[in-house]
Amino acid sequence: MSGEPLVQVCGLHKRYGPVHAVRGLDFHLERGRVLGLLGANGAGKTSTLGMLAGVLAPSEGRVVIAGHDLRRSPLAAKARLGYLPETPPVFQDLTVDEYLHHCARLRGLTGRRLAAAVDAAKSRCGLADSGTRLLGNLSKGYRQRAGLAQAIVHAPDVVILDEPTAGLDPAQMRDLRQVIRALGREHAVILSTHVLPEAQTLCDRVQIMHEGRLALSAPMDALPGDDAGHRVRLRCSPGAGKVAALPMVDAAEEDVDGSLRVRVRGGEDGVVDFAAACAAAGWGLLELSPRRQSLEDLFISIACSDGAREPAA
């Protein structure tokens, strides 16, 4: 899981004429990790994924896949990555088997290795019994699986998925997420999504883009919440006003569930003093825990920070 990152991104920019869609991204990703790229419409996610997949030329910056610079050694870099664009690149008139054999041949596989690779990809994507079905007759969920199978048929190190579950029904979403979670154990996966609970369950790390920049990059289990205060439950609450009047308290307000949202000053000492003050006042302290902002809180605070708008020139 450790070692050299499989994906390294340095100073990445994308301009479409006057539109500056991606404005200087820097990040890296190791094997065994799933990175979720979030952002409002127009934030720059698809442009970023296209550049990482080598299908869109950056205006500036560098992408290195498994040690291969995507611009200097495109064939070596692309051999190590698989890409599922927003619309899966499937041919309606081919069967699943014909399509995956074609994709595997394009990836340089032949003979027994090709047959084994196609079987493995089909089995991982839940297509083992669908080889003879025409792609044009498949449901959207199964077409998406075929798209995913073409992205992994050559066992790439890095898998890039642009909104892989968009438009699927809840059961199809659940199935595809299981496939992606399993992929994440062996590969490095980067996916974009608008479904925040999906990011929360699938991803180890989240990056929120806003107007072409990374506005947040954090491990999913340690989202920033330092300024979110403490959640406090008191058996005999005197009300937020009296709590706010304590000398170590900056602010207190009541939450919808009857608990208090309390901002204490003075770091850990302040929190200890606050607990002692609650006990001394006989309020019956039942709970005192740091509040974490939910991913949704973070997303909305970022997406609405200047009013959501398309990246400007």
Report in angstroms how near the CB of residue 222 gets to ligand ATP at its nearest: 24
Report in angstroms how near the CB of residue 43 gets to ligand ATP at its nearest: 4
Indicate whether 126 belongs to the interface with ligand ATP (CB under 6 A). no
DSSP, res 95: B
Indicate whether 43 belongs to the interface with ligand ATP (CB under 6 A). yes
The residue type of 170 is: P
Task: Please give the size of the binding site for ligand ATP, defined by CB under 6 A.
Answer: 13
State phi, psi for 73 to the nearest 5 degrees.
-130, 65
Indicate whether 210 belongs to the interface with ligand ATP (CB under 6 A). no
Contacts of 176 (CB under 8 A, 6+ apart): 141, 144, 145, 148, 164, 165, 168
Indicate whether 46 belongs to the interface with ligand ATP (CB under 6 A). yes
Indicate whether 36 belongs to the interface with ligand ATP (CB under 6 A). no
Q: Which of 142, 159, 39 is nearest to 95 (CA)?
A: 142
The region of 26-34, 35-43, 120-128, 295-303 touching ligand ATP under the rule CB under 6 A is: 35-43
Report in angstroms how near the CB of residue 41 gets to ligand ATP at its nearest: 3
The region of 44-52, 235-243, 244-252, 270-278 touching ligand ATP under the rule CB under 6 A is: 44-52
Is the sign of the CA dihedral 15, 16, 20, 22 positive or negative?
negative
Q: What does each C-alpha distance from 183 to 40, 82, 136, 156, 202 come to in angstroms?
A: 26, 12, 26, 10, 11
Give the C-alpha separation, 53 to 302, whole Å: 26
Indicate whether 310 belongs to the interface with ligand ATP (CB under 6 A). yes
| Strands of 285-290's sheet in order across | 249-254, 260-264, 230-234, 285-290
Report in angstroms how near the CB of residue 293 gets to ligand ATP at its nearest: 22
274 neighbors 242 (Cβ within 8 angstroms): no
128 neighbors 122 (Cβ within 8 angstroms): yes
Indicate whether 45 belongs to the interface with ligand ATP (CB under 6 A). yes
Of the candidate residues 39, 54, 82, 270, the single one contacting ligand ATP (CB under 6 A)? 39
Of the candidate residues 29, 35, 47, 54, the single one contacting ligand ATP (CB under 6 A)? 47
Contacts of 171 (CB under 8 A, 6+ apart): 141
Indicate whether 88 belongs to the interface with ligand ATP (CB under 6 A). no
Report in angstroms how near the CB of residue 212 gets to ligand ATP at its nearest: 7
- One symbol per residue from 8 to 27: x for binding ligand ATP (CB under 6 A), - otherwise; what is it? --------x--x-x------
Indicate whether 41 belongs to the interface with ligand ATP (CB under 6 A). yes
Indicate whether 309 belongs to the interface with ligand ATP (CB under 6 A). no
Contacts of 250 (CB under 8 A, 6+ apart): 263, 264, 265
**Site of interaction with ligand ATP (CB under 6 A):** 16, 19, 21, 39, 41-47, 310-311
